Amino acid sequence: MVRAVQASAAVSVPAALLLGIAGRLALRSYGSGFVGAYPVLLVLSGVQLVAATVGSLSGYLLTMTGHEGKASRVVVGTALLNLALTVVLTPLLGAVGAALATMAAGFIRLGMFWTYARRHVGVAVLPFMPAEQPIAAGTS
């Protein structure tokens, strides 16, 4: 699991940095009207970067180990939270408000998945091996 998260981070970190640095240029390639979406691009890229480096794989781990009921409740609950926050934040902040709603719900979903995977499967999905989880003999 650690290696999978490391591989995900190895791809996601450079991609997020590239979007942060050259995001306006990339958006301009679709037309000058898209450049205004740069703050939305940054917010959503940040969510995905955290997901890739802290362990979005926790949700998959839960569904593969018989905890799909818990995972589905998290998905539905955070989708409803995202909808509620979008309804509140979009009129106030426009597209950035919708992105912030998605970010908040996404962080909560990641946190809940991570906590459930740790509690019910005994795996901390991180890009490094926690000190309290020794590596089994013969693996690295």
Please check whether residue 11 lies inside any domain of the structure.
Answer: yes
Please check whether residue 135 lies inside any domain of the structure.
Answer: no
pTM > 0.85 = no
> Which residues constitute the domain of residue 64?
2-121
Please check whether residue 37 lies inside any domain of the structure.
Answer: yes
Please check whether residue 136 lies inside any domain of the structure.
Answer: no
pLDDT per position as a tens digit, 43-87:
999 999 988 887 678 888 899 999 999 999 999 999 999 999 999
Please check whether residue 134 lies inside any domain of the structure.
Answer: no
Please check whether residue 116 lies inside any domain of the structure.
Answer: yes
CA distance 46 to 40: 10
Please check whether residue 93 lies inside any domain of the structure.
Answer: yes
CA distance 2 to 128: 6
Total structural domains in the chain?
1
